[in-house]
Amino acid sequence: MADRITSGFKPHTPARDVVAGHDLTGKVAIVTGAATGIGIETARALAEAGAEVIIAVRKPDLAEAAVAEINKTAKGPKASWSMLDLSSFKSIRAFAERWGDRPLNILINNAAVMACPLAYTEDGLEMQIGTNHFGHFLLSVLLAPSLVAGAKQSGKTSRLVSLSSIGHRRAGVNFEDPHYKTRAYDKWDSYGQAKTANALFAVGFNTRFKDQGVTANAVMPGGIMTPLQRHLPIEEQIALGWIDEHGKVRDGFKTTEEGASTSVWAAVGDELDGVGGLYLEDLAQAEPWTKEKPWAGVMPHALDPEAAERLWALSVETTGAGA
């Protein structure tokens, strides 16, 4: 990868260092799931650079606390929050309706569910792909005109950031049975399928909107201890090698602020201006996955343009939203 895009930052650089030197005054950003974890650090960094940040979350008490925290250091307009439940098409449509035709410059699809027991959304979709992919697909397509308007208004490319994961290596998208109606459910295969879908969505979205001034990239934030692990017992986290028997986190894991840095770079980095359809990790374009480095890199199935087109068609059919 001779022409691989890099930021010049080290993998453990904090998000606020990545955004330093960028003036986001006048820019508007939405970050989903930004009440906790890397989401709040992503929103905080953008707000510190002057952007108006709206966090889209489903728990009002956590949202109020997060907004108060972000506003302690916000340089621009005060951050605010809006109700969004990504497991409900009704909630997503209501969010988009409230948003209206307001221009948008940055959309960071950060919220996620990981390795939960088998469950279904209110629209009958398996919870992990239903929330992580189909929910974000519907939101993004409904907000696409606002992203296009943001690009026209600012004269600069609007950016969509889709959070994926090294978990994508566990599975591609099973187009025959994405919702585990006939096959046995495996929570990690399900997570892998959803995270592959997040990467393929960036490919598909970028193809459709890059000529209208909107690019999309996928991001692997790194290993981080956040509320995303809520469904995993301590014993399982020890078995996975994430923590030792004393609860100490494995070397190489990032803090939440370090985990937010690649999302922030995807949103503001000059190196990525006009560039989309990539999978980014550790503040650089990811290299191909290899057996020697199993916890890093991107597998071909997560960037396959044919799979991206197939997923887009399935997503239009599933959500009723085309673009």
- 180, 185, 191, 279: the catalytic one is 191
- The string over 143-170, giving b where at least 16 C-beta atoms fall within 10 Å of a residue's C-beta and e elsewhere, is bbbbbbbbbeeeeebbbbbbbbbbbbbb
Provide the greatest CA pair distance for the chain. Answer: 54
Which residue, among 248, 265, 208, has the nearest Cα to 18 in the 3D structure?
Answer: 265
List Cβ neighbours of 243 (8 Å cut-off, separation of 6 or more): 225, 234, 237, 249, 250
Which residue, among 6, 8, 49, 16, has the nearest Cα to 256 in the 3D structure?
Answer: 16
Cα–Cα distance, 141 to 28 (Å, whole number): 17
180 is catalytic: no
Tokens representing residue 34 in the block = 């930004």
List Cβ neighbours of 239 (8 Å cut-off, separation of 6 or more): none
C-alpha atoms less than 13 angstroms from C-alpha of 94 in its C-beta half-sphere: 13
Q: How far does the chain reach from its first CA to its final CA, in angstroms?
A: 32
List Cβ neighbours of 306 (8 Å cut-off, separation of 6 or more): none
Which residue, among 220, 137, 133, has the nearest Cα to 179 in the 3D structure?
Answer: 133
Cα–Cα distance, 295 to 167 (Å, whole number): 9
Residue 56 DSSP SS3: strand
- Give alpha helix (H) positions in the chain: 15-19, 37-48, 60-70, 89-99, 127-129, 136-154, 187-209, 234-239, 256-259, 261-268, 305-319
Contact 92, 144 (CB under 8 A): no
Residues catalogued as catalytic: 191
